[in-house]
Amino acid sequence: MKKWGFLVGGLLVALLLAGVVSNFASSHPDGLDSSLREGCTFDADDEITGGSCPAQQEREHEIGGPLADYGITGIDHEFLSTGLAGVLGVLLTFAVAGGGFWLVRRREPAAQDATGAERTDPATTSGG
């Protein structure tokens, strides 16, 4: 029973972090975005105004999807959209990982004798 408490506790912590704390993450570009922006100049609205950098070829998401740009499409409240996208991501990851672990778990093979009949342990059988 301890493992279920650990799993549920871990899931709750992950949901809290994804749903609430993720909204307070830095809005500054990460390492990949920073390297793509090197060589360009930006205005106060973070729009490219000059220079030459790979970020100038940036386009909108070609595929799109309901979770594009760390939010849920159709929800205008940014805090709620980001939090729900994080929670949905955690739940999907937990489901896929849990299913994968369930598929590859170890199972004790039934002990069989040479005839293929299942053997029983004499110590556990009652036969006077």
What is the model's pLDDT at position 50?
87
**Residue in the block written with tokens 């598929």:** 103
Each residue's pLDDT tens digit, 85-127 = 999 999 999 999 999 999 998 887 766 656 666 666 666 655 5
Does this model's pTM top 0.75? My answer is no
Kindly write down the DSSP assignment for every residue of 91-116, as one continuous string: HHHHHHHHHHHHHH---PPPPB-TTS
SS3 48: strand
Number of CB atoms found within 10 A of residue 35's CB: 13
Instruction: Tell me: pLDDT of 47 over 80.
Output: yes
What are the structure tokens assigned to 70, written together?
């760390």
Q: How far is CA 118 from CA 30, 110, 125, in A?
A: 59, 7, 13
